[in-house]
Amino acid sequence: ALPMVTVVVGCKSEDGVISLLTTAIEADEPRCLEFPVPSKVNPLNPGVPRWANYVKGIIQHYRARPLTGFKAVIASDVPLGGGLSSSASLEVAMYTFLQQICPDDGDLVAKAQTCQKAEHTFASVPCGIMDQFISVMGRKDHALLIDCRSLEVTPVPLTDPNLVVLITNSNVRHTLSGSEYSTRRSQCEAAAKALGKESLRCATMADLEALKASLDAEVYRRARHVITEIKRTTEAAEALKTGNYGQFGKLMVESHCSLRDDYDVSCQELDELVVAAMDGEGVFGSRMTGGGFGGCTVTLVETTAVEKTMQRIKDRYRGTATFYITKPSPGAYVMKLSGF
C-alpha cells in the first residue's frame, strides 16, 4: 500500500515442479530454487534460503487446491528490513499470484490471516495482522484503521493534495529486532494474564494502575504503551477524518515517545530523525515505524516543506538517510500480461 511494490510474474507449468527466482540482491543464496508441489504426504518445510520461507509458507497454507506447478520471478523495490512491511508485501503478492492459477473464495480477511500464518510458521516471526491487512486491503488516498479484535477495517480519507508522508530510512538495523519482538509479545501477554484480560485491548489504564504495585516494572511499561497506543490510534483516526492534522501529528510524536520510553524499541538513530524532522515549519508529526531498533520513520508534512525537511535531516543526522515521498496507495492487485 505504498508506491514501492513487490511484483510476482509467472505462469503454470505441467511438470509438478515449482520454480522460483528472486531478483533481490539482498536476498541470501541461492536466489533460484525448485521443489515439487506440496502434498499431504510431502508438505513444504522452512529451510534455506531464508527469503524462500515466506513464499513456501504461502504455498503450503494456500486455501485452495489442487495447486499446479508454476514458474515465478519475484522483484521488489520495498526496502528490506526497513519496517515497511517487505515480508508482508512478498507474502501477499505471492498469494495474489496463486489466486490467478488456482482461485480461492476471495475472502480478504482469510487471505491476510493466511499470510500472517505463513510468517508465523515458516519465518518464525510472531507478527500481528497489521502489515498483511494493509497489504491486502490498502486503498488509494486512504489510511486504514484496523481493529485487530473484530478484524474490521475502516478506510480513513487522506486525500489532501497539500500533504505527503515522508518516509526516512535510517539505513541501520540493530540485531535486537527479531528476538526482542518475541520478548515484547510475551511481556504483553503476561500483563494481560495478570489483569485477567484476554488481551490488553480489553484493559484500561485504570485496570493497569490498580495492579501496578504487583507487576514487574518493565511489564508495566510495555502494557502502558499498548493501552495508551490503542487510545491514540482511535483518536488519530478521528483527527484524520476531520482534517485536524495538528492533532494527528501530535499523536504521532506521542506514539514515538511511548515506543521509545515504554516499549523500548527505538534507537538513537530513529530518535535523531524524529527530532530533526520536527524542528521546522510545515511538519505535523513524526514517529518510528516497524519493529524498531533501526529502519524507518514516517513524517506527515506539507508538500511545500518536504525539500527543507529532507535537507534539515541530512544536515543533522549522523548517518546517511534515504527518503521516499509517498501517498497512500492501493493494496495488492492483478496485472494481466497480454501477448505472453
Residue 50: CATH number of its domain: 3.30.230.10
165 and 128 in a single domain? The answer is no
Q: pLDDT at position 176, please? A: 59
What's the first-to-final CA gap in the chain, in angstroms?
27
Domain boundary among 90, 112, 137: 137
Q: pLDDT at position 292, please? A: 87
Closest Cα to residue 277, out of 257, 299, 293? 299
- Does the residue 144 lie in any domain? no
In 128-281, the DSSP E strands lie at 142-147, 152-157, 163-173
Q: pLDDT at position 100, please? A: 96
Report the largest interatomic distance among the alpha carbons of the chain, rounded to a whole angstrom: 69
108 and 161 in a single domain? The answer is no
Residues in the chain: 340
Per-10-residue mean pLDDT of the chain, 340 residues long, equals: 87 95 92 95 95 97 96 90 83 97 96 97 89 94 93 94 95 73 91 96 96 96 98 97 97 98 96 98 96 92 98 97 93 82
* Known catalytic residue at 261: no
Burial of 313 (0-12, 13-18, 19+ CB in 10 A): buried
168 and 301 in a single domain? The answer is yes
Q: pLDDT at position 175, please? A: 63
Q: pLDDT at position 191, please? A: 97
Q: pLDDT at position 112, please? A: 97
CATH number of the domain within which 282 lies? 3.30.70.890
Question: Under a CB-based contact definition with an 8 Å cutoff, are residues 245 and 302 in contact?
Answer: no
- Does the residue 128 lie in any domain? yes
Q: Which residues are CB-contacts of 193 (< 8 A; sequence separation ≥ 6)?
A: none
User: Where in the sequence is the domain holding 181, given as residue range(s)?
Assistant: 153-326
Q: pLDDT at position 210, please? A: 97
CA-to-CA separations, 193 to 180, 188, 196, 224, in angstroms, rounded: 20, 9, 5, 14
157 and 123 in a single domain? The answer is no
Q: pLDDT at position 177, please? A: 54
User: What one-letter code names the amino acid at 217?
Assistant: A
Q: pLDDT at position 162, please? A: 96
* Catalytic-role residue among 15, 105, 131, 261: 131
Euclidean distance between CA atoms 82 and 306, whole angstroms: 21
Q: pLDDT at position 229, please? A: 97
- The reported pTM is 0.89
